Amino acid sequence: MPSQNRKAVSVSVIYQRLAKAFGPQHWWPAKSPFEMMVGAILTQATNWRNVQRAISQLKQAQALSAEGLLRLPILRLQRLIRPAGYFRQKTQRLRAFTQWYIHRYGGRPSRMFQRPWQILRQELLALRGIGPETADCILLYAGQQPVFAVDAYTRRVFRRHGVIDGTATYETIQRLVMKAFGRGAMSGWTHSVSLYNEFHALLVAVGKRYCQRKNPDCDHCPLGDLPRKLTKEDG
């Protein structure tokens, strides 16, 4: 059997196991597309609880709109998002993104996500501080575009279950998932969006609870009996 097929089957099996074990995850908790995009930047290498603190402070300061955020003096913005860590970098990233958003799309999500997502993705990647994962989270969660977002948990879970090896790139993993769900009963725009949304959230859920870096609790993991390839480098 070609390895591509074997991998595609594994990915959908992992999804089905996780969906059954954890149920709907209801990501991404936000009131507006702009709030989601701000969250996507703030959550870079950061615990979501700390991101929520920062978002809550931005809300109180009435800075959860593009115009509101840019109105803030830099030092005040830094202070508000401080709980999310890397606050100096993230202040620059938020401002650069928001300026682009207003200049290019008038600060209107309907105009922004009218663009083909492939083009939009390139535009996002060209912004300072927005890499593949942040761009894909923005496209998927704020824009409802059919794009899967790969994160550290995706890599860890896939690697521990032999779906990928340590050399797999972001784009390789992304293609693997999108190919697995991109045909047959799993296909369709709306269906893909909700699948990618759920799958990403489910991988984070299993990663947090059972697939920790140091002490993985594989005995109780819903994927526990799937083939595993644990190595010394297994992150």
Partner DNA sequence: GTCCAGGGCCTAC
Partner DNA sequence: GTAGGCCATGGA
Which residues sit at the interface with DNA, rule CB under 7 A?
27-28, 39-40, 43-50, 53, 82-83, 85-90, 128-135, 137, 141, 151-153, 167, 204, 208, 212-214
Nearer to DNA, 53 or 175 (CB): 53
Cβ–Cβ < 8 Å for 129, 96: yes
Per the CB < 8 A criterion, the answer to whether 116 and 123 are in contact is no
Closest CB 70 distance from DNA, rounded Å: 19
Smallest distance from DNA to CB 183, Å: 26
Q: Which is nearer to DNA, 8 or 54 (CB)?
A: 54
- Least distance CB 210 / DNA (angstroms): 12
Residue/partner pairs of 101-104 with CB below 8 Å, 24 or more apart = 101/34, 101/37, 101/66, 102/66, 102/67, 102/70
Q: Are 140 and 147 in contact (CB under 8 A)?
A: yes
- Report how far residue 76's alpha carbon sits from residue 82's, in angstroms, rounded to the nearest whole number: 10
In the bound state with DNA, the residue whose beta carbon lies nearer, of 27 and 101, is: 27
Of residues 10 and 43, the one with the C-beta less far from DNA: 43
Separation of alpha carbons 11 and 5, rounded Å: 10
Residue 156: CB minimum distance to DNA, A: 8
